[in-house]
């Protein structure tokens, strides 16, 4: 009989799956040989997960489903065949410490009343995840949770019982609900009470199973002496409408199953109402995340213009009386619309931008406003109001951005477009490997060097804290072959207040796993990257530039027709550009899912090179050219390539 059976359900998260399997292997080395079996149940993934497991983890027991049968059913498939004394249900987006299995088994052996055990969890930024320990969602507890009172009283035993906020995260406790990301249980208990309820497709099954463990006379515990990394704690999907609906519908299933006779239908009605209420709030939250900054800018501009208008009207206007109503109904909305649009086109709503973009955007808008007032004189009010408002808008929005940046990031790098400082926890040799492998995937970065924990005593992490402070590190990469998972998690926890982005290079891998998101390959593959070609304003400028160049060439087509090397597709290509079927400049032909999508180009990024050099570049070099093109795109780059290759448009 095995001591432990680890069950992992996977659905299209190959990179996380590979990393968690490596961590499970390392944690198993502290136990007797062949005492741990690992099960992976794949729910019809399309990302190569199954092939990866077969190639790299041949000893893992693999169950491949032809369709997504859900979390509960997939776990049950493995539990039914598992041979371990203990069963661990583990999410693929986790990393376990080397001592996790050893400490969990020791705890269960010394606590025969324990049916289930959870551990301390931190997210991809090193922050403690409150779902590590939870209380039973009774009607009262659920009501406080859905009303958000737990956020206002985080340490309250009454208002935050859902997350057991009154219990210290650094001490062991008896709890009620385990997290589905890590459920360590006795197999004999599961055989007695039954496995996961398959009525729960994704959420709620952990609550139900935890409750049934307690109903059978066993206890659930929280173990603080070891911890795991759980990336999903940062997932933005938790603010999605779909997540809200599925999660609270799961709570409704739980309430109908366990509280139907104990509580009135009023509670179930309350949950149904809360489902739609939270869904509406999720919609508002997503709207605000996308457009909130622009809305605040418009409000700032509105206040500035009204104050300037009022001051000028009362003190300096040469004609007696107040401005007509058309100032409010026509001129003012036009000012705000033009300024906000020009700010957007200037890139002021990207994650990173220069303060100069605010000045550029507002001044561009002001010039457009001035031009319009020349043609529509009936709406031309005092130009001094426009000028003073322009200065007021620039200074006020700039000040607001600095205040926002300091509150959110505790620095102004997001405004100054300062270089990102990247440090690596690795040996000097592996630091150079990491830098060589990933430096071409980063932009505006400075690689500051490598660091390793110096000693095995308690002060070993304070040395890294000091190093991070001295070099002002923004992103920290862990080379997994040089540092233990326990050290990685401890360092992340120590640095959780410094707003650092963490990445891990798994063993024998060519990619980084970052703390951005569980769901997108782009976040896993490399450090944080904002491709310039993906920005909306660059997309707009690229299209307008292509149209302008194409129309100019067609206007003087006899000249350009003569110089073409290949005339056959000259008009076809230009017509395709006008219709939006092609770009004037696209990729060099390399097809790679790690790059933003572009339509086929008449010319390519490789056309920046001379003919002799271009003929000898290989596939990898083409990818590098395409990567740089997407990463550092400017309209001037397209113009440069077109001017250099006007004879190759056919």
Task: Identify any residues that bridge with 114 across adjacent strands, giving them in sequence order.
Answer: 219
Token code pair at residue 230: 């759980």
Q: Write 208-211 long-range contacts (CB < 8 A, 24+).
A: 208/254, 208/257, 208/258, 209/116, 209/178, 209/183, 210/116, 210/136, 210/176, 210/177, 210/178, 210/183, 211/136, 211/176, 211/177, 211/254, 211/258
Q: Give the residue with greater pLDDT, 640 vs 21.
A: 21
Domain boundaries of the chain, sorted by first residue: 2-133+169-233, 235-395, 419-525, 532-648
C-alpha 381/C-alpha 264 separation (Å) is: 65
User: Which pLDDT score is estimated for 145?
Assistant: 80
User: Which pLDDT score is estimated for 201?
Assistant: 58
Region 608-631: mean pLDDT is 80
C-alpha 386/C-alpha 546 separation (Å) is: 33
Beta strand 84-90 with 2-10 is: parallel
Beta strand 182-186 with 114-122 is: antiparallel
C-alpha 642/C-alpha 640 separation (Å) is: 6
User: Which pLDDT score is estimated for 466?
Assistant: 82
| pLDDT value at 590 more than 60 | no
User: Which pLDDT score is estimated for 245?
Assistant: 57
C-alpha 386/C-alpha 81 separation (Å) is: 75
* C-alpha torsion sign, points 586, 590, 596, 598: positive
Helix residue spans in 89-222 (DSSP H) = 100-110, 139-146, 149-152, 187-193, 205-215
Q: What's the Cα-to-Cα distance from 73 to each of 4, 41, 61, 76, 232, rounded to whole Å?
A: 20, 10, 17, 5, 21
Report yes or no: 416 and 352 within 8 Å, Cβ to Cβ.
no
In this structure, how many other beta carbons lie within 10 angstroms of the beta carbon of residue 126?
22
Q: Among 124-128, 518-522, 575-579, 645-649, which stretch is predicted with the lowest mean pLDDT?
A: 518-522
C-alpha 553/C-alpha 540 separation (Å) is: 20
C-alpha 77/C-alpha 524 separation (Å) is: 29
User: Which pLDDT score is estimated for 89?
Assistant: 97
C-alpha 74/C-alpha 77 separation (Å) is: 5
Interval 352-372: pLDDT, tens: 667 788 888 899 888 888 878
Region 491-508: mean pLDDT is 86
| pLDDT value at 620 more than 70 | yes
DSSP secondary structure code for residue 292 in this structure: H
| pLDDT value at 149 more than 60 | yes
Region 55-75: mean pLDDT is 93
Interval 509-547: pLDDT, tens: 777 787 643 333 333 433 345 677 887 778 888 888 899
**Residues in the chain, overall count:** 650
Report yes or no: 218 and 116 within 8 Å, Cβ to Cβ.
yes
* C-alpha torsion sign, points 392, 394, 395, 397: positive
Token code pair at residue 283: 């919609």
Least Cα distance to 541 among 637, 649, 403, 443 occurs for 637
Which SS3 state, helix, strand or coil, does residue 495 take? Answer: coil
List the CATH code of the domain at 2-133+169-233: 3.90.550.10
Confidence band, pLDDT 50/70/90 cuts, at residue 458: very low
Q: How many angstroms from the chain centroid is the CA of residue 539?
A: 22
Q: How many angstroms from the chain centroid is the CA of residue 156?
A: 31
Least Cα distance to 252 among 292, 208, 296 occurs for 208
User: Which pLDDT score is estimated for 205?
Assistant: 85
Please, what is the average pLDDT of the chain?
Answer: 83
Task: Please provide residue 55's backbone torsions phi and psi, each rounded to the nearest 5 degrees.
Answer: -80, -40
The residues, any chain, with a CB within 8 Å of residue 555's CB and separated by 6 or more, are none
C-alpha 168/C-alpha 162 separation (Å) is: 14
Interval 190-246: pLDDT, tens: 999 999 988 765 667 888 899 999 999 999 999 999 999 998 644 334 545 555 556
User: Which pLDDT score is estimated for 339?
Assistant: 93
User: Which pLDDT score is estimated for 27?
Assistant: 95
**Is the overall model pTM greater than 0.85, yes or no?**
no
Q: Give the residue with greater pLDDT, 503 vs 628.
A: 503
Q: Residue 266, exposed/middle/buried by CB under 10 A (0-12, 13-18, 19+)?
A: exposed
Least Cα distance to 449 among 472, 423, 470, 473 occurs for 423
Q: How many angstroms from the chain centroid is the CA of residue 442?
A: 17
DSSP secondary structure code for residue 442 in this structure: -
Fold of the 419-525 domain: Rossmann fold (3.40.50)
Region 157-180: mean pLDDT is 94
| pLDDT value at 459 more than 60 | no
Interval 276-327: pLDDT, tens: 676 677 678 778 878 899 999 999 999 999 999 888 877 776 555 677 888 8
Q: Among 139-148, 313-322, 345-354, 395-404, which stretch is predicted with the lowest mean pLDDT?
A: 313-322
| pLDDT value at 640 more than 70 | yes
Q: Residue 604, exposed/middle/buried by CB under 10 A (0-12, 13-18, 19+)?
A: buried
Interval 418-444: pLDDT, tens: 678 899 999 989 998 888 877 765 667
Q: Between vectors from CA 24 to CA 22 and to CA 27, what angle results, nearest 5°?
A: 110
Q: Which helix (H) or strand (E) holds 571?
A: helix 570-579
Q: Give the residue with greater pLDDT, 610 vs 260.
A: 610
Provide Rg for the chain, Cα atoms. 30
Highest mean pLDDT among 21-30, 448-457, 563-572: 21-30
User: Which pLDDT score is estimated for 199?
Assistant: 76
C-alpha 337/C-alpha 541 separation (Å) is: 19
User: Which pLDDT score is estimated for 52?
Assistant: 93
Task: Please provide residue 408's backbone torsions phi and psi, each rounded to the nearest 5 degrees.
Answer: -80, -40
Task: Identify any residues that bridge with 221 across adjacent strands, giving them in sequence order.
Answer: 117, 174
Q: Write 581-589 long-range contacts (CB < 8 A, 24+).
A: 583/542, 583/546, 584/546, 584/549, 584/550, 584/638, 584/642, 585/629, 585/637, 585/638, 585/641, 585/642, 587/626, 587/629, 588/622, 588/625, 588/626, 589/622
HEC string of 349-373 equals: CCCCCCHHHHHHHHHHHHHHHHHHH
Which SS3 state, helix, strand or coil, does residue 518 take? Answer: coil
Interval 469-487: pLDDT, tens: 888 888 899 999 999 999 9
Confidence band, pLDDT 50/70/90 cuts, at residue 406: confident
Half-sphere exposure of 531 (CA within 13 A, CB side): 17
């Amino acid at each position: 009989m095995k001591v432990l059976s680890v069950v992992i359900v996977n659905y299209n998260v190959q990179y996380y799956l590979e990393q968690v399997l490596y961590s499970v292997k390392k944690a198993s080395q502290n136990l007797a040989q062949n005492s741990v079996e690992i099960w992976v149940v794949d729910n019809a993934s399309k990302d190569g997960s199954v092939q990866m497991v077969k190639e790299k983890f041949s000893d893992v027991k693999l169950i491949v489903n032809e369709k997504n049968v859900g979390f509960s059913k997939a776990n049950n498939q493995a539990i039914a065949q598992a041979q371990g004394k203990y069963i661990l249900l583990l999410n693929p987006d986790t990393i376990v410490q080397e001592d996790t299995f050893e400490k969990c088994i020791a705890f269960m052996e010394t606590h025969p009343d324990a049916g289930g055990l959870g551990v301390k969890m931190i997210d991809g930024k090193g922050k403690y995840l409150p779902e590590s320990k939870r209380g039973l969602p009774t009607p009262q507890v659920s009501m406080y949770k859905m009303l958000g009172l737990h956020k206002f009283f985080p340490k309250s035993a009454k208002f935050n019982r859902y997350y057991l906020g009154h219990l210290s995260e650094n001490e062991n406790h008896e709890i009620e609900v385990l997290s589905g990301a890590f459920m360590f249980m006795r197999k004999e208990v599961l055989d007695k009470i039954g496995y996961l309820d398959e009525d729960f497709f994704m959420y709620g099954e952990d609550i139900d199973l935890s409750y049934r463990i307690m109903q059978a006379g066993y206890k659930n515990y929280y173990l603080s002496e070891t911890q795991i990394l759980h990336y999903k704690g940062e997932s933005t999907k938790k603010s999605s409408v779909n997540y809200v609906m599925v999660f609270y519908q799961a709570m409704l299933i739980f309430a109908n199953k366990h509280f139907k006779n104990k509580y009135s239908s009023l509670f179930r009605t309350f949950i149904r109402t809360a489902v739609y209420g939270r869904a509406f709030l999720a919609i508002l939250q997503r709207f605000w995340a996308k457009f909130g900054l622009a809305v605040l800018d418009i409000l700032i501009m509105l206040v500035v213009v009204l104050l300037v208008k009022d001051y000028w009207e009362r003190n300096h206007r040469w004609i007696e009386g107040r401005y007509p109503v058309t100032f409010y109904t026509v001129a003012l909305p036009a000012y705000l619309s033009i300024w906000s649009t020009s700010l957007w086109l200037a890139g002021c709503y990207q994650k990173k931008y220069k303060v100069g973009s605010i000045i550029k955007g507002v001044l561009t808008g002001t010039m457009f406003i001035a031009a319009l007032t020349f043609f529509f004189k009936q709406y031309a009010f005092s130009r001094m109001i426009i000028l003073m408002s322009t200065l007021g808008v620039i200074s006020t929005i700039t000040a607001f951005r600095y205040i926002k940046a300091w509150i959110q990031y505790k620095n102004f790098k997001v405004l100054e477009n300062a270089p990102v400082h990247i440090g690596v926890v690795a040996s000097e040799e592996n630091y150079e490997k990491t830098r060589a492998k990933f430096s071409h995937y980063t932009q505006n970065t400075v690689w500051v060097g490598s660091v390793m924990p110096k000693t095995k005593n308690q002060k070993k992490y304070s040395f890294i804290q000091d190093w991070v402070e001295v070099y002002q590190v923004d992103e920290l990469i862990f080379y997994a072959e040089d540092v233990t998972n326990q050290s990685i998690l401890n360092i992340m926890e120590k640095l959780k207040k410094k707003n650092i982005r963490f990445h891990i290079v798994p063993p024998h891998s060519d990619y980084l796993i970052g703390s951005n998101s569980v769901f997108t390959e782009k976040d896993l593959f490399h450090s944080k990257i904002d491709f310039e070609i993906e920005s909306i304003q660059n997309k707009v400028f690229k299209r307008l530039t292509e149209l302008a160049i194409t129309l100019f060439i067609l206007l003087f087509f006899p000249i350009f027709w003569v110089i073409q090397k290949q005339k056959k597709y000259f008009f076809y290509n230009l017509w395709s550009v006008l219709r939006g079927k092609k770009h004037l400049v696209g990729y060099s032909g390399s097809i790679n899912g790690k790059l933003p999508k572009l339509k086929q180009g008449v010319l390519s990024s490789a056309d920046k090179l001379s003919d002799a050099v271009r003929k000898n570049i290989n596939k990898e070099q083409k990818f590098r050219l395409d990567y740089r093109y997407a990463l550092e795109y400017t309209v001037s780059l397209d113009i440069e390539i077109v001017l250099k290759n006007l004879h190759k448009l056919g």
